[in-house]
Structure 1
Amino acid sequence: MAFISVDSVYLKPALDEFTKLLAALVGPHGHSCLIRSPVDSVTLTSSSSRLISNIPVGSPLLQFALQCIRSQIERFGDGGLYCGILLSKLMIRLIDSCIPRHSSCSILSELQNIVLSQLRNSEQLLLSINLDSVAPLMAVAQSVLLSKRGNYEGTDPVHLAHINTQISLLVQAFLESEASIEKVVLCIRKKVDKQCLLNGVLYPCADEEHVVLKGMSWNSASLLLFSVMLTDKIDCKEKELPGVDYLQQGKAQFEAAEIFIEKAISCGINIVACQKVVHPTLILKMKRKGILVLQRLGKRMAEAVEILSGAVPVSNLHISQLDSLPQLKGSLKKVQHFSDNGGNFVFMEGAPGSGICTVLLGSHLLESCSELEIVAHQVLTALKQVIQDTAVCPGGGCTEMHLCITLWKEVHRRREDLCFKLQCSASQLYTVVKWFQEGLLLASGLHSEAGSLAFDSVYYHAWRGSHSKTMIVEATTCHCGLISSDAVVRLNGSWSIFTLEHINYVCTDLNDTAQKITFGPSIAGSVPVHDVCSSKVGAITVAVESAIAITDIGAIITS
């Protein structure tokens, strides 16, 4: 059991390094990071935040931060790094401040309510979308794919065409599955002749598994699906028998698997599919009988095969299940060998209307296909959230800039009431506002160093500063690409350099509300970036509430 107090001298330096690490992965200058430990290493990029559980850190508080990141990823599929950066930055400020902790936590909780209210309800911030068109879905898919530094680098026309094909196929697959993303199988290869969408399950072969088909196709094939290992190893879900040697249990497991396979052969099963591993001896035995063996499907593909075929997974090798084996089998309309530059595949087609489809994608620039698989799954998850929200918000840090300004204006307007309610001074209130603003901008990949960041007085969007005495901004569009400089000028708007220290001077003269924007075609020469509202709400909620909880407790204990 490990224990660490928030007053520990080791905590702030560890949090500082952790925040810098995560912040280096996001934003326009984000890059990959390799973390090494005495026993292993792990590569992190902006799209591999779910792999963050492998970071070798021993601090209980950092382990808690990783747990918060994982909960965000499990719920929304993305936003883990955003959550981690905001949480870590707030923790640094909370534990290093002279403001009484109960006061700073109360203020932070109140500010969270203001920010989330804006994010959920602001007509000036949210972009309503029309689901009668695929344009919003294409825009969201594009935003996710192009925002991941490991997946997109440069503007090479061939690569952009490759990415655009991926965007189109993922949206098609999402619609084909009727928004049931568990019905979409992702097949990622280093090289493919043609990226495509197939109605069925595409299984990548290994060790000449496809030779059983002999280049032919099968019609009306029967299939038996196992979710348990067919080996002499004990499945982690199987309970060890007290007093029985481990090797003896493994032997019994293998013998049971043999009995089940013999039964499958006698029942005339054409295909044995296994979510996990099949023993080589059993594979050879089934091949000799002309049975096609598909192993290591993984959870997602196994679930897709289950839906496609109607098979009931065999979850244990108890002899009592043997007689019911024929009732557990499923059937496939067609099974055939599929060959591509990316390798050999077995393609399984079920009855019409299953909604199961496979997206075959090529990794193009990636050294590892796992990166693209994560990004593609994040696209599908984002699309599902968008049709639930029926709205998106500006990406590229423009939402965070809008929130920073509206937060300051709302606090400034209600300053006396808030100070009375929270029993704090105006100085304490504005200090915590600054913490929140700093965390939001950093989480979105923006830095507020002097001259590097600006905002407009019309929409409150983020712009790249010019570092010039003659002009404030040098870009023709804001960070999200939805607002042009001409649009700001037409509405008699102006730009101001954004700094946390001088925000009170530049925000005082702004209009009470920002101009509303609508979802529409992109500005020529820009690639618009959209964010998923509910994912951002979730990340902010987890980060703020976790930071407050740890500070209130004063310590964290992990086993």
Structure 2
Amino acid sequence: MSRLEAKKPSLCKSEPLTSEKVRATLCVLKGILTSSYGPSGRLKQVHSGLGGCVCTTSQSSALLSNLPVTHPILKILTTSTKNHVSCFSDCGLFTAILCCNLIENVQRTGLTPTTVIKLNQHLLRLCTHYLKSESCGCRIPVDFSSPQTLLCLVRSVVTSKPACMLTREETDHISALVLKAFLLTIPENTKDRLILGKSIIVPLKGHRVLDSTVLPGILIEVSEVQLMKILPIKKSDAFKVALFCSSLSGDLSDTGEGTVVVSSGVCLENAVLEQLLNLGRQLVSDHVDLVMCQKVIHPSLKQFLSMHRVIAIDRVGVALMEPLSKVTGTQPIGS
């Protein structure tokens, strides 16, 4: 597809924050964000002039991702806000509005940039100290034996999402599920530092809101064809699991550095495949029920394991290796 315009080289411009163009663009962005903020915030419909779907939302991540931002100042601001949301999963609109207000106040005061930076850093230290203090008004004492306070807090967040159009019964149900999912992320035994688990929301079309549920465990994405081969699982007792963090594809590039000595008349690919099948025979003889690999499993090895009713799942990814190791109690096999 040809371009409508010739591609222009990137330009770096030095433009003061006090210019009228910066003020106008910031004012427009702040108006969009402010009118979307809080329980009385209104929904926005964002549509690209080039076509595509219409996005109806008041959520910061969806709003900032769909807004066609071109001004460098707004690009920095929106990118910083999206990074904040990706790290903390909250307060996207508040962060963006705060940044807009800080820039506007700098324009009004007329202070030098160096003075403003030092002043903002000092204010940040004061705010952080207050938020960590026991006298902070944002702190809410919570009794986990009676989670009514937490439930009210979750319900207030859910009811502030007008696009969900939930009934009171659905709001109560979703609030209880969100609280349950949060409590399940808290480990029973903590050592030096508390590390919370992770919750993943999987949307399903054509189902009622009241059919939503919380399933503790680890979510592993597999293809529909592979899932039909796995289900139904008839074994009721504990599974034997083998977890591999090295590739089982038979590709020699994954074996690391070194020298491979091949005898005359030996087919290297067949020799590697035979070693993989020997591994499969060993797994079958050890009565392993589930084989999971961080990378790729050779199709022939997959077929061999499937013939012996061993479930094989590959391309698990590095992010799930540590949780899988903890849940199954296995040590990942590296070679």
Structure-2 residue corresponding to 1:69: 81
Contact 2:184 2:216 in 1 (8 A): no
Is 1:188 equivalent to 2:202 in the alignment? yes
Counterpart pick for 1:270 among 270, 289, 310: 289
Q: Distance in 2 between matches of 1:276 and 1:77?
A: 29
Letter in 1 for 2:313: L
Q: Distance in 1 between matches of 2:58 and 2:272?
A: 42
Is 1:5 equivalent to 2:19 in the alignment? no
Letter in 2 for 1:65: L
Letter in 2 for 1:186: I
Report how far residue 173 of structure 1 moved.
1.3
TM norm structure 2: 0.64
Percent of counterpart pairs with the same letter? 18
Cα 1:127–1:185 change in 2 (3 A) is closer
Is 1:138 equivalent to 2:138 in the alignment? no
Q: Distance in 2 between matches of 1:303 and 1:198?
A: 19
| 1:415-442 per-position Cα deviation (integer Å, ceiling 9, x unaligned) | xxxxxxxxxxxxxxxxxxxxxxxxxxxx
Contact 2:177 2:214 in 1 (8 A): no
Is 1:173 equivalent to 2:192 in the alignment? no
Report how far residue 78 of structure 1 moved.
1.4
Report how far residue 29 of structure 1 moved.
2.2
Q: Distance in 1 between matches of 2:47 and 2:293?
A: 34
| 1:254-303 per-position Cα deviation (integer Å, ceiling 9, x unaligned) | 99996785354123143233457768776555433423133565666554
- Relative contact order: is structure 1 or structure 2 higher (C-alpha 8 Å, sep ≥ 6)? 1
Counterpart pick for 2:34 among 8, 12, 23: 23
Contact 1:42 1:55 in 2 (8 A): no
| 1:457-491 per-position Cα deviation (integer Å, ceiling 9, x unaligned) | xxxxxxxxxxxxxxxxxxxxxxxxxxxxxxxxxxx
Q: Distance in 2 between matches of 1:73 and 1:80?
A: 6
| 1:106-160 per-position Cα deviation (integer Å, ceiling 9, x unaligned) | 655565566556555484734441445342433443344444445x435x23312
Contact 2:33 2:97 in 1 (8 A): yes
Cα 1:296–1:285 change in 2 (3 A) is same
Q: Distance in 1 between matches of 2:47 and 2:173?
A: 30
| 1:323-343 per-position Cα deviation (integer Å, ceiling 9, x unaligned) | xxxxxxxxxxxxxxxxxxxxx
Is 1:164 equivalent to 2:175 in the alignment? yes
Please provide the CA RMSD for this pair: 4.8
TM norm structure 1: 0.42
Unaligned runs of 5+ in 1: 242-251, 316-320, 322-559
Is 1:217 equivalent to 2:258 in the alignment? no
| 1:63-85 per-position Cα deviation (integer Å, ceiling 9, x unaligned) | 32234224423443312332122
Cα 1:134–1:5 change in 2 (3 A) is farther
Q: Distance in 1 between matches of 2:140 and 2:55?
A: 37
Cα 1:14–1:79 change in 2 (3 A) is same
Letter in 1 for 2:178: I
Q: Distance in 1 between matches of 2:144 and 2:245?
A: 39
Is 1:294 equivalent to 2:313 in the alignment? yes
Structure-1 residue corresponding to 2:3: none
Structure-2 residue corresponding to 1:246: none
Structure-1 residue corresponding to 2:93: 81
Q: Distance in 2 between matches of 1:214 and 1:275?
A: 24
Q: Distance in 2 between matches of 1:229 and 1:81?
A: 43
Q: Distance in 2 between matches of 1:47 and 1:101?
A: 34
Q: Distance in 2 between matches of 1:51 and 1:279?
A: 43
